[in-house]
Structure 1
Amino acid sequence: MPKDIAREREDEWFVRHERELLEKIRRERQKRLQEQLQRETQEELERLRQLHWMKCPKCGHDMEAVTLEGIEVDRCTSCEGIYFDRGELETLLLQKQKRRGFFRRLMGLES
């Protein structure tokens, strides 16, 4: 094989190999950046959750869990606002409706 052809193939190999290495390094860097962003996002979400946990959406004061009609709800210690988590209001209304139905049947107002 002539020297020029051998050198040309060798140069092609180095160019191809360098391109592959650069692409691998770029993918690894991109992966690290995504993981870092994900960690920072999770940390920020956790920080915000801790900052706002059990704080009144109306006045910003602390809230406490209280039991109302057998259901634990959140009540503001300052403005006395009551806040329901998902499903709590429906449960409370259903209990009231059952109770009202019982008393209406007891009084003969419903059959």
Structure 2
Amino acid sequence: MAIENKPSRNEEEYFARIDADLRKEMRAKADAERAAQVAADRNKCPRDGTPLVPRETHHVTVDTCPTCEGIWLDKGELEILEKAQAEHSGFVTNLLNIFK
């Protein structure tokens, strides 16, 4: 009986499974770190990196930059402001004129 120097098939499968699990954990950790970074960057001004200040206007939170005085809207907020323009005038009208 010759002893084979090659590991058994079960052993290879075991280590392949362990390797796959480790890669999956590392991928999940990297994804979580990226998501945290995106969330941290979301609240900063795209122009100068200053933290944005939220301001409530007609049931919409408008993010403003105190440094460059930029106004930043999230997806769908412009449409809500346009609907409010039909009902109200003043600030909303002036704000929408900036975007046109």
Q: Pairwise CA RMSD of aligned residues?
A: 2.6
TM-score normalised per structure 1: 0.64
Residue 65 in structure 1 maps to residue 65 in structure 2: no
Comparing 55-64 with 67-76, greater Cα deviation is found at 67-76
Q: Give 5+ residue unaligned stretches, structure 2.
A: 90-100
Runs of at least 4 residues of structure 1 off by over 3 A? none
Higher helix share: 1
Number of positions where the alignment pairs a residue of Structure 1 with one of Structure 2: 89
Structure of greater Rg: 1
Stretches of structure 1 that go unaligned for 5 or more consecutive residues are 1-6, 101-111
1:96: how far off? 0.7
> Which letter does structure 2 place at the counterpart of 1:19?
R
- State the match for 1:20 in structure 2: 10
Residue equivalent to 1:88: 77
Per the alignment, in what secondary structure is the counterpart of residue 58 of structure 1? coil
Instruction: Specify the code of the residue in structure 1 equivalent to 2:50.
Output: H
TM-score normalised by length of structure 2:
0.70
Percent identity over the alignment? 26
Distance in structure 2 (CA, Å) of the matches to 1:99 and 1:44: 41
Alignment of 1:4-19 (within 5 A): 7=1, 18-19=8-9
Residue 49 of structure 1 and its aligned partner are, at CA, apart by: 2.5
Cα distance in 1 for partners of 2:38, 2:88 equals 40
